[in-house]
Structure 1
């Protein structure tokens, strides 16, 4: 697709001074999208690239606002120099409306929604932000009982069809993102250009070294293993009991006998994880949570010899910091396998509808051996 065939008129791209992208981003999404946003900004240096991060967990419950406000993705986005403005205050209805009013003042000539969940709602949001701008957004086929969806899609000037995964020959999620950006005039990225990266500030590298020293994991006689059993949904989590049993099993193997283990926990589950893991009285095992800043996580991952993770951002960040990873996944989303096949081992749940917890400790041990 040449620039004259893209969903944004070439003349409009050249004469505009800014563009707004809308997305509901998870860390895993951005691990691959970052490359495309950066390349787009470099291809159009006259454009000020802004990003609206829509919080799908938006709630009126003020008790939830604390951890939503501290979403670690915001630390990463804030360190990316190619975004001139990032909207992060969308986690409550009041802040959401205030952010819309703020965005309207920008008079965006171009708005692109990359939202795949409820895309009709984001078509409406994009038009609310820019009543007179050129709006591009995702669109799904409309069923006969969804006339309101059809009305919403009429607010788009151009639509990106929703992607479907061919189970027999699945494309990688980076291929999907490449297709999206190709349609809005983004440059082509080869395999090297799509490989995820994370630029970790030196201060956080030093922080990781100090943390390992505090745990007495540096210097250490054996390897350092990072295990992440947590994801946003229970379907993608691995039981803490499995984690403890895996550590015990690895410590019985000659190759891993002297290893040290770090078990990752999301902040809101840290106390429970400490209780469960602590009950096993495991040797050379510590709990970790990136409670202060996102970069705590990749900085520590970079120090590891092996990363074992469920299907969430950690398995993709493992590729970004060039550490071998064993990924525990369901069969549902083959497009989300880690991109670095040479340094990634994927273990899938036995049956199509199984959750990640169906993966046994024995399966992981076989992969390690």
Structure 2
């Protein structure tokens, strides 16, 4: 049996730990379970999280969106996270955050960064010159001297791709990381995603639906109109679904008896709202509302929880669907099957036919075939 990388003696005397990660919402949906389990296993250790912004830039026009990254709202509500470093989106703020972290004199720093691991190995050591530093350590060729020198900054390291069995779900991969690091064991049932929605945001979602006249009282009808949430947006074009397909899907669903009275909420990322509004204004669609979590992350899961069905491209929404326990149809490429929704009973995955196909290759007919089986 392989020994854990962080010695038991260090964990016993450590009062705080800094995790460094370039977290997307989807990452945190599953890593959250690991952080919570760590807090339960080591209640004397306070968890601090450094969220590194991989889109860091000097372009001031990008800062408002980077500053309001929804993950920060979620982290702020986590009872097991004591401190968050979230101002890393500009070079100046990045350096300022490093200085603040150095003041903490961390006895233990763990980098969970899989992108550019040598850079993060150096960052971890820069933050904690005297502490025990662990990080990702991907194989470096004989000519990659700079990478091998960077990895020397670590007291211990491991290849993130070589810990878990190939083909397992991403939640099992993360669980394997924490087992390798800290000797923590977990069961599949403990890896189900969850989200604790503050009451104010639950009320917000209900009031928003009421303002759209989408409010439902199931006692008034034996067959109430369904509410469907469609998310065509992801961070990269490869994972987005064209808005034309959304319009086509709405029409196709309403042509079916079981879906004819359906109301639709279409999710739009904040920076695309003006463009999406102009697009939908050019189509005569009733009972379709555009939605964006403009003010707080919890607006999104609160709205998702009110729906009967979620149709989403491969991004955080499809994982959050599992977290709020609403059935989801996930539109995915063949690449990265480990990121499929974990709750198989409440999830249907439609995969693009060819490995090189992007999500836009998935047709409305494919979605309707699945819906007609429900």
TM-score by length of 1: 0.97
CA contact (8 A) 2:172 2:188 kept: no
Contact 2:73 2:297 in 1 (8 A): yes
**Mapped partners of 1:186, 1:264: distance in 2:** 40
1:182 counterpart (167, 179, 182): 179
Matches within 5 A, 1:241-280: 241-280=244-283
Question: Are the counterparts in 1 of residues 6 and 182 from structure 2 also a CA contact under 8 Å?
Answer: yes
Provide the C-alpha distance between the structure 1 equivalents of 2:94 and 2:115, rounded to a whole number of angstroms: 17
Q: Deviations over 1:207-245 (max 9, x none)?
A: 000000000001274100000000000000000000110
Correspondence 1:93-132 to 2 at 5 A: 93-132=91-130
Tell me the equivalent position of 2:238.
235
Find the aligned partners of 1:279 and 1:39 in 2 and give their Cα distance. Answer: 49
Residue 78 (structure 2) aligns with: 80
Per-residue Cα deviation, 1:255-277 (whole angstroms, up to 9, x for no partner): 10011000000000011111112
The answer as to 2:297 corresponding to 1:299 is no
> Contact 1:208/1:299 (CA < 8 Å) preserved in 2?
yes
Q: Is the 8 A contact 1:318 1:324 kept in 2?
A: yes
1:124-273 aligned within 5 A:
124-163=122-161, 170-185=167-182, 187-219=184-216, 221-273=224-276
Check if 1:346 corresponds to 2:349.
yes
User: What CA distance in whole angstroms lies between the structure 1 residues aligned with 2:167 and 2:249?
Assistant: 30
Confirm or deny: 8 A CA contact 1:231 1:310 kept in the other structure: yes
CA distance in 2, matches of 1:206, 1:247: 27
Aligned to 2:205, the other structure's residue is in SS state: helix
Task: Name structure 1 gaps, 5 residues minimum.
Answer: none
**Cα contact 2:4–2:183 (8 A) shared by 1:** no
Question: For the residues of structure 1 that align with 2:344 and 2:216, how far apart are their CA atoms?
Answer: 30
| Structure 2: gaps (5+ residues) | 218-223
Q: For the Cα contact (< 8 Å) 2:163–2:176, is it kept in 1?
A: no
The answer as to whether partners of 1:43 and 1:186 remain within 8 angstroms in 2 is no
Q: Return closer, same or farther for 1:250/1:119 CA change in 2, 3 Å cut-off.
A: same
Q: TM-score, normalised by structure 2?
A: 0.96
* CA-based RMSD: 1.5
2:163–2:180 contact (8 Å) kept in structure 1: no
| Residues 1:199 and 1:102: Cα distance change in structure 2 (over 3 Å) | same
Which whole-Å CA distance do the structure 2 matches of 1:154 and 1:66 have between them? Answer: 37
Contact kept? 1:165, 1:171, Cα under 8 Å: no
Residues 190-222 of structure 1: CA deviation (Å, up to 9, x unaligned): 122110000001111110000000000012741
The separation in 2 between residues aligned to 1:34 and 1:162, in whole angstroms, is 18
